Structure 1
Amino acid sequence: MNIVIIGAGNIGMLMAADFAHNAQNTVTLISAHPKTDSTHLRVFNPDDSISFEVDVAAITPDYDVISKADAVFITHPTFMLKQTAQRILPFVHPGLWIGVVPGAMGEFYFQEHIALGARLVGLQRVHAVARLAETPNSVYALGRKPELFVAALPARYTFEAKKLCEYLFEMPVVTLPTYLIETLTPSNPILHTSRLFSMFKSWEPGMTYPENFLFYEGWTDDASQTLIAADAEVQTLCRKIESQSDLNLSGVRSLKDHYESPTVEAMTAKISHIPAFAGLSSPMKESDGGWIPDFSSRYFVADFAYGMKTIIDIARLMDVPTPTIDQMWEWYVSTAQPEQIIADLPTNQTDFIELYQD
């Protein structure tokens, strides 16, 4: 199978290596700035031992390789999806699989591609926790998920999407009943934003912090309280959409269920002790001898201005109040003053629901 991976970051590098590990595949990795001429990739275990090494066909900045691909997987953050979608459009051909990892908001950017005969497959979450190593073309696989959850558009290709992902990722795959589940999954847009709001809601220009906080290991009850309240608002939104359509959103699992943590205290204990997240710092930068929030980080740009804003816009469309999410959003806008905010959703309920039909 001829596969193209767009994005040589953490998950893109690992996907390229994983797919190329199957000798039946030809894998090309698209990177805006390849760090070496070598096409040799290495995957490390958490203990620094080498899991495996493999060669890809090419590492290139050129998108025209997509014209001969069977599948292209995009690992860019959500705030780059619109630009990436337009970049690949000239190379789309009937039958091409376009994978979005994670799949949230893919339905808003790839309608032209679907009209040309492409098929969209989205992963609800990444298949593994990955971190680039200091050595070029090397990546750590820090924890692989036991199974994948995927959805497809047009919806009639869902079974084919399942078989594709089972082949490529070599792991069990569960199909989701609708692609909207991916966009409403409250992982980063609620998980990350709750922690960021809790950490920085009192920050003002001129303030500095003495250190860069550990993002997960320093998780607090205040962050958990915000997370649980915002998560409940997403669940209310899902029930409202189900009541006004034939969409099944049961796959949008509450974070309380996902983390098996029904209380504030249990949530804090759980998130702060996840081994794969150990040592991860916060999106901060040095300034005047201290540390301040880095509002250019994808934690802010992708998770607030795209992930959270999408949930808010859908909630407005469905007339569902989201006071906790609104409070975080209003803080973000007033403090970060973002230049880039998603503005690509349908403006009425009928058009919105039709996006997810066969």
Structure 2
Amino acid sequence: MAAVVPTLNQRNAFRRMAETAGITATQLAEEIEMPVDLMTRLFADERLMPDSQIFVRTGMYFWETPGDFLSVDAAGPSLWDLIGQPERAGETFRITLCGMGNLGHVFAGRLANRPGIQVNLLVSSPERVDALMTAMAVNDGIRVRASGGDSVGRPHTVTADPAAVIPESQLVLFCVPTHVQPALLERVVPHMTNGTLLGAIPAVGGFHWLAQQALARHDKQAVVFGMVSIPWMCKVVQQGQEVRILGAKQVNGIATLAQDRVQHVADLMAALTGAAAFDLGSFLQITLNPGNQLLHPGIMYSLFRDWQGEALPWAEAPLFYEGLSEAGAGILSDLSDELQAIRAAVEAAQPGLSLEAVLPLQMSVLGTYGDLIPDQTSLRTIIASNPAYAGIRTPMRAVAGGLVPELNSRFFHEDVPFGLVVLRSLAQLGGVATPKLDMILTWAQGLMGKSYLVDGRMTGPDMAESGAPVCFGLTSMAEVIHSSERDGLTTSLVG
């Protein structure tokens, strides 16, 4: 059921947008089939935030970019106020970032120079610590280059020892690929203080199931949350020294498993990222997000479906997105259609469940990048002309005689077991036929030397190392849905 909630640092522009279009709250509510009283409240109070159902329907009605509807105050309450602990205002707010890829670099550089925040980095090894410390000495921190100006932030602690930073952290944020999250959770969770915020960006591939499993194993409690996409299009220029923001997203979707912390977490992440954050409700809206888990395997299949292991006589790897063919776009379109069928099956399993933020791929890309995309003629042109994708080359490696696809890339190790396998497992639970997904999964698992899909069923021995629901004891659609919803329990933040 649709809902609106009060926020401390975000604003909606529903009334302004409607007045510009010459439409009343009642008319808009009727057009998008939402309760009139909720729309009237949104018009009357810009401090109310819509949930995903209202937000998505309104955006589709006006066909405007998300940032036109929601915004974040440049200066707002303290982080302690945002998470409901105003009595601690003035204390240091401790954040531990796990992972130092593109996203980790931006968070580290941007947050470490903000007053009242202590940023710690948890990395994989002492050698990685030494490398980062040496690199950060060049700029006395990590330089973040952006169109609005550069900033430099120096993390307080860089360590490979979770015991040194996790116990006192109010927020632990995973900025790592999904396939490394299980091992990272085992490192982090034993040291967590009950009530800590534990999040991932993006939280695809069953992160919420992985987190719940690890917390239960170690008898810990946390406010588990995730965001649907990364807040910035960004690229590391020099490891530990500099990162460049190519573009910033204005709005992001967020899901949390703690009923009483929904808006606290949304307001906090809006303050930390500068992007408005709206409530997605079910974590399945992230699990089913039509992003990399469709794009990466789909395009790789279009490029290499006939490859037999030979060296390809290419001087350089082709541009991954800009070189998308019509045939490749057709494959992506088929995958998107199958994902929509899976979404429909999940919704049908529980009357009243809305997964409207799980958009078709074309609409999802447009909704994320909007006016940045110059050619919106078709799915192919939308992807090929998207400046956020510019210059990204296909993962390949050099061998004698040319190049071969890099089978050790995250395009395989993340997007297959924690992408296609999860989607295909949900399709099986919902009785949905997915011929294109099956074809690509069969091809990919053959190249990887893995076995997930066997004789049309998800029963292969490598299922145990995936994000499939069955790995967490979830064997029915009802169990999948329930485990992805808020628990309704009250959770206290401590530490």
Q: TM-score range by the shorter chain?
A: over 0.9
* Count of residue pairs brought into register by the alignment: 355
Residues 52-109 of structure 1 show CA distances to partners (whole Å, capped at 9, x for unaligned) of 1122112221212111000000011111111111111211222100011101111121
1:314 paired to 2:415: no
Supply the distance in 2 between the matched residues of 1:36 and 1:292 (Cα, whole angstroms).
Answer: 31
Return the letter of the residue paired with 1:355.
S
Match among 175, 183, 186 for residue 83 of structure 1? 183
Aligned to 1:349: 477
Percent identity, please.
24
Among residues 254, 258, 265, which one is paired with 1:161 in the alignment?
Answer: 265
Gaps of 5+ in 2: 1-92, 368-374, 452-461, 488-495
**Aligned-residue offset at 1:158:** 1.6
What residue in structure 1 maps to residue 306 of structure 2? 202
Q: 1:3, 1:26 within 8 Å by CA — same for their partners in 2?
A: yes
SS at match of 1:5: strand
- Residues 21-41 of structure 1 show CA distances to partners (whole Å, capped at 9, x for unaligned) of 321210011222132424611
What corresponds to 2:439 in structure 1? 327
Letter in 1 for 2:348: S
Contact 1:18 1:169 in 2 (8 A): no
Whether the 8 Å CA contact 1:92–1:113 is kept in 2: the answer is no
Residue 133 (1) aligns with residue 233 (2): no
Q: How far apart, in 2, do the equivalents of 1:144 and 1:260 lie?
A: 14
Q: How far 1:20 moved relative to its partner?
A: 1.9
Show structure 1 runs of 4+ deviating over 4 A: none
For residue 21 of structure 1, the aligned residue among 108, 113, 123 is: 113
8 Å Cα contact 2:178-2:418 kept in structure 1? yes
* Partner of residue 415, structure 2: 303
Q: Does 1:248 align with 2:376?
A: no
1:286 is paired with a residue whose SS is strand
Contact 1:155–1:178 under 8 Å retained in 2: no
Look up the match of 2:25: none
| Corresponding residue for residue 142 of structure 1 | 246
How far apart are the structure 2 equivalents of 1:87 and 1:135? Answer: 24
Q: In the alignment, which residue of structure 1 is the partner of 2:283?
A: 179
Partner of 2:342: 237
The reply on whether 1:12 has 2:104 as its aligned counterpart is yes
In structure 2, C-alpha distance between the alignment counterparts of 1:276 and 1:260, rounded to whole Å = 12
**Which amino acid is the alignment partner of residue 350 of structure 1?**
A
Cα drift, residue 309 of structure 1: 0.7
Separation (CA, whole Å) in 1 of partners of 2:366 and 2:229: 17
Paired residue for 1:225?
330
Letter aligned with residue 405 of structure 2: P
Structure 1 residues 320 and 265: alpha-carbon distance in aligned structure 2, compared to 1, 3 A threshold = same
* Pairwise CA distance, 1:260: 4.3
Choose the corresponding residue for 2:364, options 244, 258, 261. Answer: 258
Q: CA deviation at 1:321?
A: 1.1
Q: CA RMSD, aligned part only?
A: 2.1
- Give me the whole-angstrom Cα distance separating, in 2, the residues matched to 1:191 and 1:152: 26
* Cα distance change of structure 1 residues 264 and 22 upon mapping to structure 2, 3 Å threshold: closer
* CA distance in 2 between partners of 1:146 and 1:57 (Å): 28
Q: Deviations over 1:322-346 (max 9, x none)?
A: 1111111011112232486405242
Structure 1 position 170, deviation (Å):
2.6
For 1:271, give the aligned amino acid.
I
In 2, Cα distance between equivalents of 1:333 and 1:157: 39
For residue 327 of structure 2, what is the amino acid of its counterpart?
D
- CA distance in 2 between counterparts of 1:206 and 1:161 reads 50
Query: How far is 1:150 from its partner?
Result: 0.6
Deviation at 1:155, TM superposition (A): 4.1
How far apart are the structure 1 equivalents of 2:223 and 2:161? 22
9, 29, 40: which one aligns with 2:141: 40
Does structure 2 conserve the Cα–Cα contact (< 8 Å) formed by 1:142 and 1:276? yes
In the alignment, residue 267 of structure 2 is paired with which amino acid?
Answer: K
The equivalent residue for 2:215 is: 113
Q: 1:57 aligns with which of 133, 156, 159?
A: 156
Q: Given the two structures, how large is their TM-score scaled by the length of structure 2?
A: 0.68
1:170 — aligned with what?
274
| 8 Å Cα contact 1:305-1:338 kept in structure 2 | no
Task: Tell me whether 134-143 or 191-200 shows the greater mean CA deviation.
Answer: 134-143
What's the CA shift for 1:350? 3.0
The answer to whether the Cα contact below 8 Å between 1:5 and 1:16 also exists between their aligned partners in 2 is: yes
Distance 1:180 1:209, change over 3 A: farther
CA contact (8 A) 2:256 2:281 kept: no
Deviation at 1:224, TM superposition (A): 0.8
SS of 1:238's equivalent in the other structure is: helix
> Aligned partners of 1:227, 1:129: CA distance in 2, in Å?
22
Deviation string for 1:242-293 (max 9, x for gaps)? 11114321111111212349x9961111111111221111111011131101
CA distance in 2, matches of 1:12, 1:221: 35
Structure-1-length-normalised TM-score: 0.93
Residue deviations 1:338-358 (CA, integer Å, cap 9, x gap) = 486405242222322220232
Q: Is the 8 A contact 1:216 1:272 kept in 2?
A: yes
> 1:264 and 1:172 mapped to 2: Cα distance?
25
The verdict on how the C-alpha distance between 1:265 and 1:292 changes in structure 2, with shifts beyond 3 A counting, is farther
Kindly indicate whether the alpha-carbon contact (under 8 Å) linking 1:121 and 1:152 is maintained by their aligned counterparts in 2. yes
